[in-house]
Structure 1
């Protein structure tokens, strides 16, 4: 504790030199909403040593800020402590005077809170490391940008250029440049930033890093995009469904498996160079995708996006560079395959808590190794073009995903009972919240919440 306080004093001195006055301590709840408490720079030492109070009921908040119940907490009784991760603290380029740090949640006795999603991701990362395995991960962030206006109004777009069109860059070049600058000023390596398919839609990809760090970065990227958008008189939506019948926003997870300096996705005897371990890992992920949707596509809104022929990964299959498969194998170009080979999980979206996503995927992959799984036959064509039943569909609604989650001993054990029960309680409550609503109503209720 004294060591944390001493380090926080040094960090606070650097923040003052950089004209930072306030530090936002962020965490993501089980509904996928990024929550925050903030302290002045002078309070960072106490926050690092003792934490900042936050009620346990945030574990059972819903997207509309109503509260359900579980053993983790639901009412006004009890307290937890938010403790910032000083290694990830960063001044916010689009919010002068502010810094941000992801927070771990502890009890008042300074023991880890069993419902802390970031701790869960760290436990799963450590479980892989204990086997001599490391992982690199990255989340592609898609968003739709619209003109600022009342939230109840349909979005009005600042650009009407074609999908992937150069015209969109001309229309919003200053805005996109500022997004790029802000991300890079915050220490992130941007790989790509470009227009996407839907009206007003863009995507940014950043360099891969460890799973917990990648989840931190996913939160930071979305917050940065939102802040830059506001400064340009715009608003950003990361929701999976923004317009009825639109393709919506995904949050594709890229993942590679390593043993020492070797990328296990390259140079092996398995399909397209997978080693036996990598094939078993990704087979475990593919087999668990129905239950993983409770973590990665947790909102009823996500199932308005997860439909065939939208490159959303609606089918439980895999294929080399197959963008309609839920699991897309990426070997990379000639000359870079030993470092670039990875798998992309396409069926997830940004209503997910990214810490639950990376932790759950690692748990499923390690179970695949333990069980010696092998990938099923590859799907080399558009699965939607095959005869019905040729390739299994992933759950088409949240109740189906919940049923799969309830059958998953692997995820229940990995999450631990308190976190498992809180996740399940939130999913059931949100399903009830949106039961019977038309797609337009679901979209309107979630469009600006993410």
Structure 2
């Protein structure tokens, strides 16, 4: 996993497609800012690279070329290689003759190699969970997205009838667009479970079905691109930015996470409890990855049905960051679409690994109402003592001191991530809300 592969080795079924129906292939990855970046290769060049045992090169800032002005852009002598992970290959059902593949980033001319690559980080922690702890995971996502009319200045959400799960809010263009998105995803073997309106203008939710966790995360990236491309064809911009307008809607992206044993026996309840206790113990630091932008913290509010402000959990309760659905099925609610999802999921798995390794007890009780409505003594009785970070800077301060989480993920990756996100946070703080919104809609 640490060394550059001897050859790209394109699988035979992919070679056949590249020789016949696919003309362009997108070599994609997500940078530290949570932005999808890519190099588009012709099929002929891709096959040539494979035959000559070569990898596509990019500049040294492949992972940290920030979208925000004011970050450090000092040139350095370095380079990166895009190493395709062919298990993620998919034909782009939303773009004729295109296909995509997610890549790992290998840094050359320094000693880092793959150690600062987000995708490699997720592979690493999943391998620890499987080989050491004999645990495996399934994941699916609730993707909230706002359809924006960019012919208006400033851009405004698509005007539909506003209410949660309202048929009238789907009527006309929305259901036509959502139907095309669902058909495109299912043609790519990504299960779509539900489509519905949310409680704000132009805000919709698309729910994808469970897959092995790395595959589910790749499918999420593909889903985002499908949504954005199809909306563009309809003259709209789709955004997952947490606060895309002055409307009341706040946009999240929730992970449904299921844990099971690699053995034939059901996983023990104490193992699941230790896993969840690990996440809750590290949750303030995890937020640096799951809520990684200035405006992510507009969602950290009580009694809004987002994720609340307290570190805790509740059975089928949505004003907390972790919702228990079944004994092994949990929803991570403190996440949004500005995250590098590979790092966000890696942080959650790494925290759970620590919980199981150290045999943590689930000392938090089951919250059945908002902790903000409880008395101090009621919160104490449920073990609710800590608040979520209220800003990106606060979350970055938490990950800076969480050495266990950093070492399980990759110390060099976390250090670089903190540097980049600290610079971003300082630059974004200086902007007006309108400037941040315009930028956020453009990139997310």
Common fold: TM-score over 0.5: yes
Counterpart CA distance in 1 for 2:255 and 2:48 is 35
Counterpart CA distance in 2 for 1:218 and 1:368 is 27
Structure 1's 63 and 380: CA in aligned 2 closer, same or farther, altered over 3 A? Answer: same
Give 2:319's aligned residue: 324
Counterpart CA distance in 2 for 1:156 and 1:240 is 13
> Which of 56, 60, 67 does residue 63 from structure 1 map onto?
67
Give 1:358's aligned residue: 345
Could you tell me how far 1:262 is from its partner in structure 2?
5.0
Report SS of the residue matched to 1:310.
coil
Counterpart CA distance in 1 for 2:337 and 2:258 is 20
Could you tell me how far 1:387 is from its partner in structure 2?
3.5
Give 1:272's aligned residue: none
What is the number of equivalent residue pairs in this alignment? Answer: 426
Counterpart CA distance in 2 for 1:46 and 1:286 is 48
Report SS of the residue matched to 1:56.
coil
8 Å contact from structure 1 (residues 399, 431) kept in 2: yes
Give 1:11's aligned residue: 14
Structure 1's 30 and 440: CA in aligned 2 closer, same or farther, altered over 3 A? Answer: same
Give 1:243's aligned residue: 245
Structure 1's 444 and 306: CA in aligned 2 closer, same or farther, altered over 3 A? Answer: farther
User: Cα deviation per residue 1:304-334 (whole Å; 9 max; x = unaligned)?
Assistant: 1221222221321101011001111011xxx
Could you tell me how far 1:139 is from its partner in structure 2?
2.2
Give 1:85's aligned residue: 85
TM-score by length of 1: 0.89
1:159 and 2:146 are equivalent in the alignment = no
8 Å contact from structure 1 (residues 163, 199) kept in 2: no
Could you tell me how far 1:143 is from its partner in structure 2?
0.4
1:379 and 2:367 are equivalent in the alignment = yes
Give 2:355's aligned residue: 368
> Which of 372, 390, 396 does residue 396 from structure 1 map onto?
390
User: Cα deviation per residue 1:397-422 (whole Å; 9 max; x = unaligned)?
Assistant: 11211111111012220232321111
Superposed, which structure 2 residues align to 1:4-403 within 5 Å?
4-5=8-9, 7-8=10-11, 10-17=13-20, 19-48=21-50, 49-64=53-68, 67-68=71-72, 75-108=75-108, 112-130=113-131, 131-149=133-151, 153-171=154-172, 172-244=174-246, 246-260=248-262, 261=264, 264=267, 275-314=269-308, 315-331=310-326, 341-375=328-362, 376-387=364-375, 390=379, 391=384, 392-403=386-397
8 Å contact from structure 1 (residues 47, 84) kept in 2: no
Structure 1's 303 and 259: CA in aligned 2 closer, same or farther, altered over 3 A? Answer: same
> Which of 441, 445, 448 does residue 439 from structure 2 map onto?
445
Report SS of the residue matched to 1:394.
coil
Worse-matched range after superposition: 114-123 or 250-259:
250-259
Counterpart CA distance in 1 for 2:279 and 2:65 is 28
Structure 1's 147 and 436: CA in aligned 2 closer, same or farther, altered over 3 A? Answer: closer
Worse-matched range after superposition: 420-429 or 201-210:
201-210
User: Cα deviation per residue 1:363-392 (whole Å; 9 max; x = unaligned)?
Assistant: 100101122212212211122322469343
User: Cα deviation per residue 1:323-348 (whole Å; 9 max; x = unaligned)?
Assistant: 001111011xxxxx7xxx41111011
Could you tell me how far 1:169 is from its partner in structure 2?
2.0
Aligned Cα root-mean-square deviation (Å): 2.3
Structure 1's 95 and 158: CA in aligned 2 closer, same or farther, altered over 3 A? Answer: farther
Report SS of the residue matched to 2:41.
strand
Report SS of the residue matched to 1:64.
coil
Structure 2: 5+ residue runs without aligned partners?
none
> Which of 398, 401, 411 does residue 405 from structure 2 map onto?
411
Structure 1's 47 and 352: CA in aligned 2 closer, same or farther, altered over 3 A? Answer: farther
Q: Which runs of 4+ in 1 moved over 3 A?
A: 1-5, 7-10, 46-49, 107-112, 261-264, 387-392, 436-441
